[in-house]
Structure 1
């Protein structure tokens, strides 16, 4: 950054402190790009943040769902957007941690093209089956899969669901057939219709189905049993060695965004996720929201992304 740019950033930040309104929000609306379909934990979290930012800045905030290609379509749209804090990206395990290990020619580099400015936390996910299925426990499901190798189908719709399913199969010593979907809702519909036998999905998306009895949760991958469904066992209670990162949700901006604006966003997001009602909603999702600095976010991203080549190798996934 040259001297003129530093002076401009310093002046903008000074004006922000004086006026009490983030400089990045002046004059233009804010867009949050969600690289997946509506309804999941990421979409809900982005919309909660959008409402918060509108109240805090007075600027209109829109949430733009751009699903497809394992999140790549939405990420590319954000990468090509202005680096002035008016275009934010919902950063996920798929887009920022897993994709570099799953694609040989990824059109973006999460570490070079973006900067994380906030975190909603890390969530939990269910192992869901149709309630009419014969298996009522993880052990019964695995027994059925071993009896007919490759006959049980699992649905996946992003890197997290794909790797989680494959890692479970590798840990349990079973063979299943993966069926790709563009959106999580499509996989859930197929599971209820009996076209699939299992889906790994985040607890936010699965809660309503579990609560209504439309789907059965055989297990949950989390640090501890969920308070709302304490009868659902942990995957690790059957397979203590099962180890895959729980889903991460955060907020990123194009790498060229001035550091002063990144810090303003970081301060606002940290305030949002540790203040009710957002804090309570996130905790209800199974997240553990807390304040995270820009440096801590950068370190987290590097550390977690380094784990994914191992996950992909263990799960024996084909790199596209």
Structure 2
């Protein structure tokens, strides 16, 4: 046996020695409970999708899934927590465009890197938002609201508890040429509470949070932020067709693991989450009731989608003239 041949044989043996434990780890994954970390409060759309998918992943993997809500700071707390977690696949961030496309344009410094600190697993869903006001507000349509705002610039407020919600309001101001007072919240559910109480005048929130209040007669719907009407609220026009031509603003959900999570583990997580998202149980528990579109991807497709979305959100933030905090 030549020296070169011996070297190649030794190299191959060493590679097998290193890779064997990783392969065994991936094959056994998961063999203990998985934690889904959610950057927003219980009851939000992100929390709802995490719980719906968690139930299905638990059923498929025969391991429990724990939902850990780490709300606040625009998703900083949860994102930083997962970024620093052990990269073994047992800590997964169930998040939105807030943490992984918008925040880097809204804040001068992030305590996490949306790209370098994470391994994309899959997309989970896409959805539109609903523009709602307190029933006591005189406006019965988008254009009536715009007319009121133009008559008294800066008098009326809009709340937001996510970047999607905030950007929807900022984009409306930009395209309708109105001036509103922005009131930030830790979550959309908290903003809705103040909207119900009359502390703020309007918000554009995810349908999972806003539509139940509309159907319960507690809020009035003026328009949908999506390109098409929602099948859950067919009588509510889109903001674009109501008079703000070209207006469109949606949101998306995705799953991320810490960077350096073994590819085989990422692959298994992808399989579990994609199957969960496409299940009839998840459709009935979350997707159908909230009007959310199932959106699943490979890890590579999610990375490309995130990059494109980050550029798009950057353009919106710049167009709205928002200064990074």
Q: Same fold (TM over 0.5)?
A: yes
| Paired position in structure 2 for 1:256 | 260
Give the TM-score, by structure 1 length.
0.93
| Paired position in structure 1 for 2:308 | 303
Q: 1:286 aligns with which of 275, 280, 291?
A: 291
Counterparts of 1:310 and 1:176, CA distance in 2? 20
Alignment of 1:18-33 (within 5 A): 23-26=28-31, 28-33=32-37
Alignment of 1:66-215 (within 5 A): 66-215=70-219
SS in structure 1 at match of 2:198: coil
| Paired position in structure 2 for 1:46 | 50
Say whether the 8 Å CA contact 2:122–2:254 is kept in structure 1: yes
> 1:110-130, CA deviations, whole angstroms, 9 ceiling, x for partnerless residues?
111112212221111011101
SS in structure 1 at match of 2:182: strand
Give the TM-score, by structure 2 length.
0.91
Which region of structure 1 is more displaced relative to structure 2, 218-227 or 163-172?
218-227
Q: 1:231 aligns with which of 218, 228, 235?
A: 235
Say whether the 8 Å CA contact 1:283–1:289 is kept in structure 2: no
SS in structure 2 at match of 1:168: helix
Counterparts of 2:287 and 2:119, CA distance in 1? 22
Counterparts of 2:316 and 2:29, CA distance in 1? 38
SS in structure 1 at match of 2:257: strand
Say whether the 8 Å CA contact 1:127–1:199 is kept in structure 2: yes
Say whether the 8 Å CA contact 1:190–1:196 is kept in structure 2: yes
> 1:57-78, CA deviations, whole angstroms, 9 ceiling, x for partnerless residues?
1212110111111010111111
Say whether the 8 Å CA contact 1:24–1:84 is kept in structure 2: no
Q: CA RMSD in A?
A: 1.4
Say whether the 8 Å CA contact 1:271–1:291 is kept in structure 2: no
> 1:89-143, CA deviations, whole angstroms, 9 ceiling, x for partnerless residues?
0121100010111111111111111122122211110111011211000000000
Say whether the 8 Å CA contact 2:225–2:248 is kept in structure 1: no
Kindly tell me the number of residue pairs found equivalent between the two proteins.
Answer: 309
| Paired position in structure 2 for 1:8 | 21
Counterparts of 1:120 and 1:294, CA distance in 2? 11
Counterparts of 1:182 and 1:269, CA distance in 2? 27
| Paired position in structure 1 for 2:245 | 240
Counterparts of 1:127 and 1:177, CA distance in 2? 16
SS in structure 2 at match of 1:223: coil
| Paired position in structure 1 for 2:318 | 313
Say whether the 8 Å CA contact 2:226–2:248 is kept in structure 1: no
Question: 1:5 Cα shift?
Answer: 4.0
| Paired position in structure 2 for 1:20 | none
Q: 1:144 to 1:111 in 2, by over 3 A?
A: same
SS in structure 2 at match of 1:306: helix
> 1:228-281, CA deviations, whole angstroms, 9 ceiling, x for partnerless residues?
21110001112222243x111111100110000101111111111111021243
> 1:140-168, CA deviations, whole angstroms, 9 ceiling, x for partnerless residues?
00000000000001111121111111111
